[in-house]
Amino acid sequence: MKLIADDLASIRGGRTLFSGLSFTVGEGEALLLTGPNGAGKTTLIRTIAGLLGPAAGSVRLEGGGADRSVGEQCHYVGHLNAIKSALTVEENAAFWCRFLGGEAERIATALAAFGLDALRDIPAAYLSAGQKRRLGLARVLVAERPIWLLDEPTVSLDEAAQAVLARAVDAHTGHGGLVVAATHMPLAFAGARELRLGRAAAAA
Amino acid sequence: MTSFWQLVCRDLRVAWTEGGTVGVALGFYLVVVTLLPLGIGPDLNLLARIAPGVLWVALLLAALLSLGRMFETDLEDGSLEVLATGPLPLEAVAAAKSLAHWLTTGVPLTVLAPLLGLLLDLPPEAYGVLIVSALASTPGISCLGAVGAALTVRTRRGGLLLALLMLPLYVPTLIFAIESVRSATMGSEAFLPSFLILCAISLASLVLAPLAAAAALRFQLQ
Protein backbone atom coordinates (compact mmCIF):
# COMPACT_ATOMS: atom_id res chain seq x y z
CA MET A 1 0.00 0.00 0.00
CA LYS A 2 1.30 3.39 -0.98
CA LEU A 3 -0.13 6.88 -0.53
CA ILE A 4 0.77 9.00 -3.54
CA ALA A 5 0.32 12.75 -3.81
CA ASP A 6 0.86 13.90 -7.34
CA ASP A 7 1.58 17.53 -8.27
CA LEU A 8 -0.74 18.86 -5.54
CA ALA A 9 -1.64 22.52 -5.39
CA SER A 10 -3.86 24.31 -2.93
CA ILE A 11 -5.21 27.83 -3.01
CA ARG A 12 -6.91 29.19 0.10
CA GLY A 13 -8.45 32.63 0.15
CA GLY A 14 -6.71 33.55 -3.12
CA ARG A 15 -3.27 32.65 -1.74
CA THR A 16 -1.31 29.72 -3.11
CA LEU A 17 -0.21 27.64 -0.14
CA PHE A 18 1.71 25.05 -2.10
CA SER A 19 1.91 23.90 -5.68
CA GLY A 20 3.66 21.13 -7.53
CA LEU A 21 3.85 19.12 -4.33
CA SER A 22 4.52 15.42 -4.90
CA PHE A 23 5.43 12.78 -2.35
CA THR A 24 4.78 9.17 -1.56
CA VAL A 25 4.35 7.47 1.78
CA GLY A 26 4.91 3.74 1.70
CA GLU A 27 4.00 0.96 4.09
CA GLY A 28 5.49 1.38 7.54
CA GLU A 29 6.53 4.96 6.87
CA ALA A 30 5.81 8.08 8.85
CA LEU A 31 5.91 11.50 7.20
CA LEU A 32 6.24 14.61 9.33
CA LEU A 33 4.93 17.84 7.85
CA THR A 34 6.74 20.84 9.22
CA GLY A 35 6.87 24.49 8.33
CA PRO A 36 5.91 27.91 9.68
CA ASN A 37 2.35 28.90 10.61
CA GLY A 38 0.21 29.18 7.53
CA ALA A 39 2.48 26.98 5.41
CA GLY A 40 -0.43 24.69 4.56
CA LYS A 41 0.15 21.72 6.87
CA THR A 42 -3.48 21.47 7.96
CA THR A 43 -4.66 22.14 4.41
CA LEU A 44 -2.51 19.29 3.11
CA ILE A 45 -3.81 16.89 5.76
CA ARG A 46 -7.41 17.88 5.05
CA THR A 47 -6.74 17.44 1.33
CA ILE A 48 -5.44 13.90 1.89
CA ALA A 49 -8.51 13.15 4.01
CA GLY A 50 -10.70 14.29 1.11
CA LEU A 51 -12.30 17.10 3.11
CA LEU A 52 -10.78 19.69 0.78
CA GLY A 53 -10.58 19.43 -2.97
CA PRO A 54 -7.08 20.24 -4.31
CA ALA A 55 -6.76 23.12 -6.78
CA ALA A 56 -4.66 20.81 -8.95
CA GLY A 57 -3.17 17.34 -8.74
CA SER A 58 -4.49 14.29 -6.97
CA VAL A 59 -4.09 12.05 -3.93
CA ARG A 60 -4.45 8.35 -4.47
CA LEU A 61 -3.80 5.12 -2.74
CA GLU A 62 -2.02 2.30 -4.49
CA GLY A 63 -2.89 -1.19 -3.34
CA GLY A 64 -5.62 -0.19 -0.90
CA GLY A 65 -9.27 -1.15 -0.94
CA ALA A 66 -10.27 0.13 -4.35
CA ASP A 67 -13.95 0.36 -3.41
CA ARG A 68 -13.30 2.91 -0.69
CA SER A 69 -12.06 6.48 -1.00
CA VAL A 70 -8.71 7.52 0.48
CA GLY A 71 -10.58 9.44 3.19
CA GLU A 72 -12.44 6.31 4.26
CA GLN A 73 -9.14 4.54 4.88
CA CYS A 74 -7.78 7.39 6.99
CA HIS A 75 -8.09 8.19 10.65
CA TYR A 76 -8.32 11.98 10.65
CA VAL A 77 -7.38 13.64 13.95
CA GLY A 78 -7.68 17.38 13.43
CA HIS A 79 -7.29 20.28 15.82
CA LEU A 80 -10.65 19.37 17.34
CA ASN A 81 -11.11 16.13 19.21
CA ALA A 82 -14.61 15.05 18.05
CA ILE A 83 -15.76 14.51 21.62
CA LYS A 84 -19.31 14.98 22.90
CA SER A 85 -19.11 16.64 26.33
CA ALA A 86 -22.44 15.16 27.40
CA LEU A 87 -21.22 11.58 26.96
CA THR A 88 -18.77 9.76 29.17
CA VAL A 89 -15.23 8.95 28.07
CA GLU A 90 -16.18 5.35 27.36
CA GLU A 91 -19.36 6.28 25.47
CA ASN A 92 -17.35 8.62 23.25
CA ALA A 93 -14.81 5.93 22.44
CA ALA A 94 -17.53 3.30 22.03
CA PHE A 95 -19.48 5.44 19.59
CA TRP A 96 -16.49 5.98 17.29
CA CYS A 97 -15.57 2.33 17.57
CA ARG A 98 -19.01 1.15 16.44
CA PHE A 99 -19.46 3.93 13.89
CA LEU A 100 -16.08 3.30 12.27
CA GLY A 101 -16.66 -0.46 12.37
CA GLY A 102 -14.06 -1.51 14.96
CA GLU A 103 -14.28 -4.53 17.26
CA ALA A 104 -15.70 -3.87 20.73
CA GLU A 105 -12.56 -5.26 22.49
CA ARG A 106 -10.57 -2.38 21.06
CA ILE A 107 -12.38 0.22 23.18
CA ALA A 108 -10.84 -0.91 26.47
CA THR A 109 -7.42 -1.38 24.86
CA ALA A 110 -7.48 2.09 23.32
CA LEU A 111 -8.56 3.76 26.58
CA ALA A 112 -5.92 1.83 28.53
CA ALA A 113 -3.20 2.72 26.02
CA PHE A 114 -3.84 6.42 26.48
CA GLY A 115 -4.25 6.14 30.27
CA LEU A 116 -7.95 6.92 30.28
CA ASP A 117 -9.32 3.76 31.88
CA ALA A 118 -9.67 5.37 35.32
CA LEU A 119 -11.76 8.15 33.75
CA ARG A 120 -14.05 5.97 31.66
CA ASP A 121 -17.29 6.82 33.49
CA ILE A 122 -16.64 10.55 33.71
CA PRO A 123 -18.51 12.87 31.33
CA ALA A 124 -16.03 14.23 28.79
CA ALA A 125 -16.98 17.79 29.78
CA TYR A 126 -14.90 17.38 32.96
CA LEU A 127 -11.69 16.33 31.19
CA SER A 128 -8.68 18.62 31.00
CA ALA A 129 -7.40 19.79 27.62
CA GLY A 130 -4.68 17.14 27.62
CA GLN A 131 -7.10 14.38 28.60
CA LYS A 132 -9.48 15.46 25.82
CA ARG A 133 -6.60 15.32 23.37
CA ARG A 134 -5.74 11.82 24.55
CA LEU A 135 -9.37 10.76 24.07
CA GLY A 136 -9.31 12.31 20.60
CA LEU A 137 -6.15 10.37 19.77
CA ALA A 138 -7.53 7.14 21.26
CA ARG A 139 -9.93 7.13 18.30
CA VAL A 140 -7.12 5.92 16.01
CA LEU A 141 -6.91 2.73 18.07
CA VAL A 142 -10.63 1.86 18.24
CA ALA A 143 -10.87 0.90 14.57
CA GLU A 144 -8.35 -0.45 12.11
CA ARG A 145 -7.45 1.97 9.33
CA PRO A 146 -4.23 1.89 7.33
CA ILE A 147 -3.53 5.64 7.25
CA TRP A 148 -3.33 7.94 10.25
CA LEU A 149 -3.55 11.67 9.59
CA LEU A 150 -2.54 13.56 12.73
CA ASP A 151 -2.73 17.34 12.83
CA GLU A 152 -0.47 18.65 15.60
CA PRO A 153 -1.18 15.58 17.73
CA THR A 154 0.99 16.63 20.69
CA VAL A 155 -0.84 19.88 21.46
CA SER A 156 -1.50 20.02 25.24
CA LEU A 157 -0.07 16.52 25.80
CA ASP A 158 2.36 15.95 28.68
CA GLU A 159 5.61 14.06 28.15
CA ALA A 160 4.19 10.72 29.21
CA ALA A 161 1.29 11.05 26.78
CA GLN A 162 3.68 12.08 23.99
CA ALA A 163 5.63 8.90 24.62
CA VAL A 164 2.38 6.89 24.48
CA LEU A 165 1.56 8.51 21.15
CA ALA A 166 5.03 7.77 19.79
CA ARG A 167 4.68 4.12 20.86
CA ALA A 168 1.24 3.87 19.20
CA VAL A 169 2.59 5.38 15.99
CA ASP A 170 5.64 3.08 16.02
CA ALA A 171 3.39 0.06 16.55
CA HIS A 172 1.19 1.19 13.67
CA THR A 173 4.08 1.71 11.26
CA GLY A 174 5.59 -1.53 12.54
CA HIS A 175 2.50 -3.34 11.26
CA GLY A 176 2.81 -1.69 7.86
CA GLY A 177 0.60 1.32 8.57
CA LEU A 178 1.09 4.82 7.15
CA VAL A 179 1.28 7.99 9.22
CA VAL A 180 1.22 11.61 8.12
CA ALA A 181 1.58 14.08 10.97
CA ALA A 182 1.78 17.86 10.98
CA THR A 183 3.88 19.25 13.79
CA HIS A 184 5.89 22.10 15.23
CA MET A 185 7.49 19.92 17.87
CA PRO A 186 10.13 17.31 17.17
CA LEU A 187 8.17 14.05 17.25
CA ALA A 188 10.02 10.91 18.25
CA PHE A 189 8.52 8.63 15.61
CA ALA A 190 10.88 5.87 14.52
CA GLY A 191 12.18 6.31 10.98
CA ALA A 192 10.09 9.37 10.22
CA ARG A 193 10.87 11.45 7.15
CA GLU A 194 10.31 15.18 7.13
CA LEU A 195 8.52 17.23 4.49
CA ARG A 196 9.05 20.93 4.98
CA LEU A 197 6.24 23.11 3.65
CA GLY A 198 6.37 26.83 3.10
CA ARG A 199 9.09 28.52 1.06
CA ALA A 200 10.98 25.27 0.58
CA ALA A 201 7.94 23.29 -0.58
CA ALA A 202 9.05 23.25 -4.20
CA ALA A 203 12.42 21.78 -3.25
CA ALA A 204 11.01 18.98 -1.06
CA MET B 1 -26.30 0.15 8.31
CA THR B 2 -25.01 -0.30 11.87
CA SER B 3 -23.10 2.98 11.55
CA PHE B 4 -26.36 4.72 10.63
CA TRP B 5 -28.18 3.49 13.73
CA GLN B 6 -25.13 4.13 15.92
CA LEU B 7 -25.23 7.76 14.83
CA VAL B 8 -28.98 8.02 15.47
CA CYS B 9 -28.52 6.44 18.92
CA ARG B 10 -25.66 8.77 19.79
CA ASP B 11 -27.73 11.83 18.85
CA LEU B 12 -30.66 10.57 20.92
CA ARG B 13 -28.33 9.98 23.84
CA VAL B 14 -26.77 13.42 23.58
CA ALA B 15 -30.21 15.03 23.29
CA TRP B 16 -31.41 13.06 26.32
CA THR B 17 -28.34 13.91 28.43
CA GLU B 18 -28.23 17.57 27.48
CA GLY B 19 -31.99 17.99 27.37
CA GLY B 20 -31.62 21.63 26.34
CA THR B 21 -32.82 21.85 22.76
CA VAL B 22 -35.79 19.50 23.19
CA GLY B 23 -36.90 21.30 26.33
CA VAL B 24 -36.57 24.69 24.66
CA ALA B 25 -38.63 23.63 21.63
CA LEU B 26 -41.39 22.17 23.79
CA GLY B 27 -41.33 25.12 26.18
CA PHE B 28 -41.48 27.58 23.30
CA TYR B 29 -44.48 25.76 21.80
CA LEU B 30 -46.25 25.79 25.14
CA VAL B 31 -45.56 29.46 25.80
CA VAL B 32 -46.62 30.70 22.34
CA VAL B 33 -49.88 28.76 22.38
CA THR B 34 -50.76 29.81 25.93
CA LEU B 35 -49.85 33.47 25.40
CA LEU B 36 -51.98 33.89 22.31
CA PRO B 37 -55.41 33.49 24.00
CA LEU B 38 -54.29 36.03 26.60
CA GLY B 39 -53.78 38.54 23.81
CA ILE B 40 -56.92 37.69 21.85
CA GLY B 41 -59.34 37.34 24.73
CA PRO B 42 -61.55 34.51 26.02
CA ASP B 43 -63.84 34.20 23.00
CA LEU B 44 -64.04 30.42 22.71
CA ASN B 45 -65.65 30.46 19.27
CA LEU B 46 -62.87 32.60 17.90
CA LEU B 47 -60.19 30.49 19.59
CA ALA B 48 -61.63 27.26 18.22
CA ARG B 49 -61.70 28.78 14.74
CA ILE B 50 -58.07 29.91 14.77
CA ALA B 51 -56.82 26.89 16.76
CA PRO B 52 -55.53 24.86 13.75
CA GLY B 53 -53.57 27.83 12.43
CA VAL B 54 -52.12 28.74 15.82
CA LEU B 55 -51.14 25.15 16.62
CA TRP B 56 -49.38 24.69 13.28
CA VAL B 57 -47.59 28.03 13.04
CA ALA B 58 -46.31 27.63 16.61
CA LEU B 59 -45.27 24.03 15.93
CA LEU B 60 -43.25 25.10 12.88
CA LEU B 61 -41.53 27.89 14.80
CA ALA B 62 -40.74 25.53 17.68
CA ALA B 63 -39.26 22.96 15.29
CA LEU B 64 -37.24 25.70 13.59
CA LEU B 65 -35.82 26.77 16.94
CA SER B 66 -34.11 23.41 17.43
CA LEU B 67 -33.00 22.96 13.80
CA GLY B 68 -30.07 25.37 14.08
CA ARG B 69 -28.07 23.00 16.29
CA MET B 70 -28.50 19.94 14.07
CA PHE B 71 -25.01 20.10 12.51
CA GLU B 72 -23.57 23.04 14.44
CA THR B 73 -22.53 21.05 17.51
CA ASP B 74 -20.84 18.43 15.34
CA LEU B 75 -18.95 21.11 13.43
CA GLU B 76 -17.86 22.83 16.64
CA ASP B 77 -16.42 19.73 18.28
CA GLY B 78 -14.87 18.31 15.11
CA SER B 79 -17.21 15.30 14.87
CA LEU B 80 -18.47 16.37 11.46
CA GLU B 81 -15.04 15.97 9.87
CA VAL B 82 -14.67 12.48 11.31
CA LEU B 83 -18.21 11.62 10.22
CA ALA B 84 -17.26 12.81 6.73
CA THR B 85 -14.31 10.39 6.59
CA GLY B 86 -16.43 7.59 8.06
CA PRO B 87 -18.00 4.60 6.34
CA LEU B 88 -21.29 6.40 5.77
CA PRO B 89 -21.78 8.75 2.83
CA LEU B 90 -22.66 12.28 4.00
CA GLU B 91 -26.15 11.79 2.55
CA ALA B 92 -26.73 8.99 5.07
CA VAL B 93 -25.20 11.11 7.84
CA ALA B 94 -27.70 13.88 7.00
CA ALA B 95 -30.54 11.35 6.94
CA ALA B 96 -29.49 9.91 10.31
CA LYS B 97 -29.31 13.37 11.86
CA SER B 98 -32.74 14.24 10.39
CA LEU B 99 -34.20 11.06 11.84
CA ALA B 100 -32.68 11.87 15.25
CA HIS B 101 -34.08 15.40 15.02
CA TRP B 102 -37.53 14.04 14.20
CA LEU B 103 -37.42 11.63 17.13
CA THR B 104 -36.25 14.29 19.58
CA THR B 105 -38.35 17.21 18.31
CA GLY B 106 -41.03 16.14 15.82
CA VAL B 107 -42.43 13.36 17.98
CA PRO B 108 -42.52 15.33 21.28
CA LEU B 109 -44.16 18.29 19.49
CA THR B 110 -46.73 15.91 17.96
CA VAL B 111 -47.51 14.60 21.45
CA LEU B 112 -47.78 18.11 22.88
CA ALA B 113 -49.98 19.49 20.06
CA PRO B 114 -53.30 17.83 21.12
CA LEU B 115 -52.73 18.88 24.74
CA LEU B 116 -52.34 22.46 23.61
CA GLY B 117 -55.44 22.00 21.43
CA LEU B 118 -57.39 21.65 24.69
CA LEU B 119 -56.27 25.15 25.71
CA LEU B 120 -57.68 26.55 22.46
CA ASP B 121 -60.97 24.66 22.71
CA LEU B 122 -60.20 22.66 19.58
CA PRO B 123 -63.33 20.63 18.70
CA PRO B 124 -63.11 16.95 19.79
CA GLU B 125 -63.33 15.59 16.25
CA ALA B 126 -60.13 17.43 15.27
CA TYR B 127 -57.71 15.72 17.66
CA GLY B 128 -57.26 12.52 15.69
CA VAL B 129 -56.67 14.47 12.51
CA LEU B 130 -54.23 16.80 14.27
CA ILE B 131 -52.10 13.89 15.51
CA VAL B 132 -52.17 12.03 12.21
CA SER B 133 -51.31 15.08 10.12
CA ALA B 134 -48.55 16.08 12.57
CA LEU B 135 -47.08 12.57 12.34
CA ALA B 136 -47.21 12.77 8.55
CA SER B 137 -45.63 16.19 8.20
CA THR B 138 -43.01 16.42 10.96
CA PRO B 139 -40.59 13.98 9.23
CA GLY B 140 -40.66 16.30 6.22
CA ILE B 141 -40.08 19.31 8.47
CA SER B 142 -36.98 17.66 9.96
CA CYS B 143 -35.55 16.49 6.61
CA LEU B 144 -36.14 19.77 4.82
CA GLY B 145 -34.81 21.61 7.86
CA ALA B 146 -31.56 19.66 7.59
CA VAL B 147 -30.86 21.48 4.31
CA GLY B 148 -31.25 24.86 5.98
CA ALA B 149 -29.24 23.71 9.00
CA ALA B 150 -26.43 22.53 6.73
CA LEU B 151 -26.43 25.77 4.74
CA THR B 152 -26.19 27.97 7.85
CA VAL B 153 -23.89 25.71 9.90
CA ARG B 154 -20.96 28.12 9.71
CA THR B 155 -23.02 31.28 10.13
CA ARG B 156 -22.67 32.91 13.54
CA ARG B 157 -26.12 33.41 15.02
CA GLY B 158 -27.54 31.74 11.94
CA GLY B 159 -30.94 31.17 13.52
CA LEU B 160 -32.61 34.13 11.86
CA LEU B 161 -31.09 33.32 8.48
CA LEU B 162 -32.29 29.76 8.93
CA ALA B 163 -35.82 31.02 9.61
CA LEU B 164 -35.72 33.27 6.52
CA LEU B 165 -34.49 30.35 4.40
CA MET B 166 -36.80 27.68 5.71
CA LEU B 167 -40.14 29.34 6.47
CA PRO B 168 -41.02 29.92 2.78
CA LEU B 169 -40.22 26.27 2.09
CA TYR B 170 -42.57 25.22 4.88
CA VAL B 171 -45.53 27.16 3.42
CA PRO B 172 -46.98 24.14 1.53
CA THR B 173 -46.71 21.97 4.65
CA LEU B 174 -48.37 24.70 6.71
CA ILE B 175 -51.25 25.26 4.27
CA PHE B 176 -52.15 21.59 3.88
CA ALA B 177 -51.64 20.76 7.55
CA ILE B 178 -53.99 23.55 8.62
CA GLU B 179 -56.40 22.59 5.86
CA SER B 180 -56.53 18.97 7.01
CA VAL B 181 -57.30 19.94 10.63
CA ARG B 182 -59.78 22.61 9.58
CA SER B 183 -61.58 20.13 7.35
CA ALA B 184 -62.22 17.98 10.40
CA THR B 185 -63.61 20.89 12.42
CA MET B 186 -65.75 22.17 9.54
CA GLY B 187 -66.89 18.69 8.58
CA SER B 188 -65.81 19.14 4.98
CA GLU B 189 -64.43 16.41 2.76
CA ALA B 190 -61.03 18.01 2.25
CA PHE B 191 -59.12 15.85 4.77
CA LEU B 192 -57.89 13.04 2.56
CA PRO B 193 -56.47 15.17 -0.30
CA SER B 194 -54.62 17.50 2.09
CA PHE B 195 -53.38 14.57 4.13
CA LEU B 196 -52.07 12.81 1.04
CA ILE B 197 -50.29 15.96 -0.07
CA LEU B 198 -48.69 16.20 3.41
CA CYS B 199 -47.47 12.61 3.02
CA ALA B 200 -46.17 13.41 -0.46
CA ILE B 201 -44.23 16.45 0.80
CA SER B 202 -42.68 14.36 3.57
CA LEU B 203 -41.76 11.49 1.25
CA ALA B 204 -40.21 13.82 -1.31
CA SER B 205 -38.24 15.62 1.43
CA LEU B 206 -37.13 12.28 2.83
CA VAL B 207 -35.56 11.35 -0.51
CA LEU B 208 -34.29 14.68 -1.80
CA ALA B 209 -33.38 16.71 1.30
CA PRO B 210 -30.47 14.47 2.47
CA LEU B 211 -28.86 14.89 -0.98
CA ALA B 212 -29.09 18.67 -0.75
CA ALA B 213 -27.98 18.71 2.89
CA ALA B 214 -24.93 16.56 2.09
CA ALA B 215 -23.97 18.85 -0.79
CA ALA B 216 -24.25 21.84 1.54
CA LEU B 217 -22.15 20.08 4.20
CA ARG B 218 -19.41 19.21 1.68
CA PHE B 219 -19.25 22.86 0.74
CA GLN B 220 -19.20 23.97 4.38
CA LEU B 221 -16.33 21.62 5.21
CA GLN B 222 -14.11 23.11 2.47
Q: Which of B6, B81, B222 sits opposite A95 (nearest CB)?
A: B6
Closest-approach residue (CA) in chain B for A13: B222
3-state secondary structure chain B: CHHHHHHHHHHHHHHHHHCHHHHHHHHHHHHHHHHHHHHHCCCHHHHHHHHHHHHHHHHHHHHHHHHCHHHHHHHHCCHHHHHHCCCCCHHHHHHHHHHHHHHHHHHHHHHHHHHHHHHCCCCCCHHHHHHHHHHHHHHHHHHHHHHHHHHCCCCCCCHHHHHHHHHHHCHHHHHHHHHHHHHHHHCCCCHHHHHHHHHHHHHHHHHHHHHHHHHHHHHHHC
* ipTM value greater than 0.95: no
Residue A32 backbone class (left: φ over 0; alpha: ψ -120 to 50; beta: rest): beta
pLDDT band at A202 (very low <50, low <70, confident <90, very high): very low
Question: What residues of chain A lie within 8 A of the CB of B73, using their CB?
Answer: 84
Q: Which of B7, B18, B85 sits opposite A76 (nearest CB)?
A: B85
Q: Which of A51, A96, A98 sits opposite B2 (nearest CB)?
A: A98
Instruction: Report CB contact under 8 Å: A84, B85.
Output: no
Q: Which of A50, A53, A80 sits opposite B77 (nearest CB)?
A: A80
Residues B79-110 have pLDDT tens digits of: 999 999 888 999 999 999 999 999 999 999 99
Q: Which of B73, B82, B222 sits opposite A76 (nearest CB)?
A: B82
Question: What residues of chain B lie within 8 A of the CB of A140, using their CB?
Answer: none
CA of A64 vs chain B CAs: smallest distance (Å): 15
Question: What residues of chain A lie within 8 A of the CB of B84, using their CB?
Answer: 50-51, 71
- CA separation (Å) from A46 to A66, A75, A77, A154? 20, 11, 10, 18
How many CB atoms sit inside 10 A of residue A78's CB?
A: 20
Question: What residues of chain A lie within 8 A of the CB of B2, using their CB?
Answer: 98, 101
Do the bridges between strand A2-12 and strand A15-26 make them parallel or antiparallel, or are there none, so unpaired? Answer: antiparallel
Question: What residues of chain B lie within 8 A of the CB of A75, using their CB?
Answer: 85
Residues B131-167 have pLDDT tens digits of: 999 999 999 999 999 999 999 998 888 788 898 999 9
Residues A80-106 have pLDDT tens digits of: 999 999 999 999 999 999 999 888 889
Structural domain including B205 reads 2-221
CA of A189 vs chain B CAs: smallest distance (Å): 24
Whether the per-residue pLDDT at A200 is higher than 70: the answer is no
Fold entry, domain A2-203: Rossmann fold (3.40.50)
Do the bridges between strand A56-62 and strand A30-34 make them parallel or antiparallel, or are there none, so unpaired? Answer: unpaired
**Residue A147 host element (H or E):** strand A147-151
Q: What is the pTM of this model?
A: 0.90
How many CB atoms sit inside 10 A of residue B174's CB?
A: 17
- CA separation (Å) from A33 to A18, A39, A63, A139, B123? 13, 10, 23, 21, 69
Percent of chain B with pLDDT over 90: 60
Residues B44-86 have pLDDT tens digits of: 888 888 889 999 999 999 999 888 888 999 999 999 999 998 8
Q: How many structural domains does chain B have?
A: 1
Question: What residues of chain B lie within 8 A of the CB of A78, using their CB?
Answer: 78, 81
pLDDT of residue B58: 94
CA of A71 vs chain B CAs: smallest distance (Å): 5
* Residue pairs spanning A and B at CB distance below 8 A: 76
CA of B143 vs chain A CAs: smallest distance (Å): 22
Q: What are the residue boundaries of the structural domains of chain A, listed by start?
A: 2-203
Q: Please report which residue ranges of chain A form alpha helices under DSSP H.
A: 41-48, 89-99, 105-113, 129-142, 159-174
